[in-house]
Amino acid sequence: MMKTGRSQFWHSDGRRLSGLSTLLLLLPFFAIIAFVFVYPILQLLVISVLEPHPSLDNYARVVENPVHTRVLMRTLWIATLVTALSVVLGFPVAYYMSRAKGTVAALVAVCVILPLWSSVLVRTAAWSFLFQRNGLINSALMALGLTSEPFKLLYTQSAVVIAMTHVLLPFMILPIYGALRSIPNDYGRAAAVLGATRLRTFLEVILPLSLPGVVSGSLLVFLTALGFFITPALLGSPQEMMISTLVSKQIREVLDWPFAAALVGVLTVFVTLLAIIFSKTLRFDRLMGNAS
Amino acid sequence: MKPPTDRSLALGAYVYAVLAFIIVPLVIVIPMSFSQNDYLAFPPSGFTLKWYSEYFDSRQWRAATWLSVQVALLTALFASVIGTAATYAMIRGRSRLVTAFQILLIGPIIVPHIALAVGLYLFFQTIGLSGTIPGFVLAHTVLTLPFVVFTMAAALGKVDPNLEAAAMSCGATRFQAFRLVTLPLVLPSLASSALFAFIISFDEPVVSFFLSGVRQKTLPRRMFEDIEQNLTPVIPAIATLLIVLSILILLGAHVLRSRSVTR
């Protein structure tokens, strides 16, 4: 350390913080993440293999009991269905959004971003009003003469799938929109000049280039859907639980901590592995409403 | 000749149908909140403010709201300070912790909230933080930190490091250079990240659900119980107020972004 005084600040090195300052600034972040995130999750994983005695018995109960495997399968199925529905509903919106200009673009952006920042409980409550026996959907169906008896909509798997798609749709639209926006306009024009029809330009240029966005959005929706709690807890049937509602039941009613910890372990390890495998395509920074 | 427009018309119709699917369930609670119907039937009838006064007059609803406001304000403060300090260190520092930082940052987004909620429920009970304001604030700070860091990384990344170097060559300390040069440049982003942290905490349902005690219940937890048990017409009134709050937060963030020099 020969350099002294202020002259060092003119070296490119001088713009950097010292190692000690860096550490001090990072300390609160690492401390809170370690104590309030890493430790509680690790503690659960430890309980799941050590209690009531060291073994994998708790995990065996998850995969051997048909009631529990049905819950796992249902969770995977619902998450897949919600992801597929979100692609089908979300892609055209993202495409339209990337093409729109001025007021229309702003309006579409508001429709996508406002729900993202409004309470999940508000959105779930809204669906529970809509799905009531005498709610809007049944009233409309009966007024149109499509049915004489109100349907049972609330506390069904369909209700959970529809409401979860509604809640998670923005997580699909925004990454696709981001990918579509990063395609230079010239590409489409070049394809047109070369004689491609609009459909062919879309299928052979736009669609392949937007795939990273589709993959990123699908993963985000799928991973979030796997652990979703509020919507299945309020709109689903107690006979058709998802993994998170089963966890809640184990803790609040059965008080079986080791088994609940194993369920959480299965969910967390599965989600984390998927996230690691696809870590290159996940773009979380696109969720901050950078679209507007 | 222009290509046929019925394809784009069909696209437009489909897109507006999806947008209606997104927006109608949110909007529907607004007329319901003014309905005189006691049992949430559709269509709403008449006009009354009684559900709003029921909310504001209820001691339980007021207590839950006040708890959530306190938690959200403290979360916004902690998350934006801790997040900004860490982001600044990552951008200006000479750290080999970058990879660890990035992994730990993504963690709270990837790991299901139910897992964190259950883990914290157990941990906080053993150390007596369950159902306390510090407990809620710590949990919500972890959940909101990634969003603060994303916003601040975008803002701080655009501030030329030579500006601070110039200030320091004129005799400013590192802290003065940050406070007088960099901070004013990123202040709008800092404010909007605090706004986002506030609304995420205020609306956070899952962790709050498990950390709430018998007496200390956040607003989302109280709403959950109400929807689960009897679904009273107070819920549309509260939902309407929450939607208005979300709109105000987004408007605030939008104004801040348009003011930002580092945009």
Residue A80 maps to a domain = yes
CATH code of residue A282: 1.10.3720.10
Q: Rounded to a whole number, what is the distance in Å from the CA of B147 to chain A's nearest CA? A: 7
State residue B95's pLDDT score: 67
Residue A10, pLDDT > 60, answer: no
Q: pLDDT tens for chain B, 263 residues: list them.
A: 445 467 778 888 999 999 999 999 999 889 888 988 776 666 777 888 888 998 999 999 999 999 999 999 999 999 999 999 999 998 888 767 777 888 888 899 899 999 999 999 999 999 999 889 999 999 999 999 999 999 999 899 888 888 888 888 888 888 888 889 899 999 999 999 999 999 999 999 999 999 988 788 999 999 999 998 877 889 999 999 999 999 999 999 989 888 776 54
Of B136, B148, B152, give the one whose Cα is nearest residue B74: B136
Cβ-Cβ contacts under 8 Å, B174 against chain A: 17, 21
Q: Looking at the 3D structure of chain A, how many domains does it have?
A: 1
The pLDDT-based confidence of A286 (bands split at 50, 70, 90) is low
- Tell me the domain boundaries of chain B: 58-259
Architecture of domain B58-259: Orthogonal Bundle (1.10)
- CB within 8 Å: A257 and B122: yes
| pLDDT value, residue B62 | 95
**Which residue in chain B has the smallest CA separation from A164?**
B22
Residues near A270 by beta carbon (within 8 Å), at least 6 away in sequence: A226
A117 and B40 within 8 Å at the Cβ level: the answer is no
Alpha-carbon distance A33 to B104, whole Å? 7
- A289 Ramachandran zone, left/alpha/beta (phi>0; psi -120 to 50): left
Helix then strand count (H, E) for chain A reads 14, 0
Residue A239: pLDDT over 90: no
CB-CB contact of B218 with B212 (8 Å):
yes
Q: What is the ipTM of this complex?
A: 0.90
Comparing A97 with A148, the larger pLDDT belongs to A97
* Secondary structure letter of residue B46 according to DSSP: S
Q: Report helix, strand or coil for B51.
A: helix
Task: Give domain status of residue A17, yes or no.
Answer: no
Give chain B positions within 8 Å (CB) of A227.
112-115
Contacts of B173 in chain A (CB under 8 A): none
Q: Is the pLDDT of residue A2 over 70?
A: no
pLDDT digit string, tens, across residues A27-54: 999 999 999 999 999 999 999 999 888 9
Predicted confidence (pLDDT) at residue A12 exceeds the cutoff of 60: no
Chain A residues touching B113 at Cβ < 8 A: 227, 229
Structural domain harbouring A63 = 57-287
Q: Name B12's Cβ contacts closer than 8 Å, sequence gap at least 6.
A: A96
Residue A122 touches partner B, C-beta closer than 8 Å: yes
Q: Is the pLDDT of residue A92 over 90?
A: yes
**Domain for residue A146, yes or no?**
yes
Quick: pLDDT tens for A144-188.
888 778 888 888 899 999 999 999 999 999 999 999 998 888 888
pLDDT band at residue A290 using 50, 70 and 90 as cut-offs:
very low
User: A44, A264 in Cβ contact below 8 A?
Assistant: yes
Any domain includes A36: no
To the nearest whole Å, the CA of A66 is away from the closest chain B CA by 23
Classify residue A248: in a domain, yes or no: yes
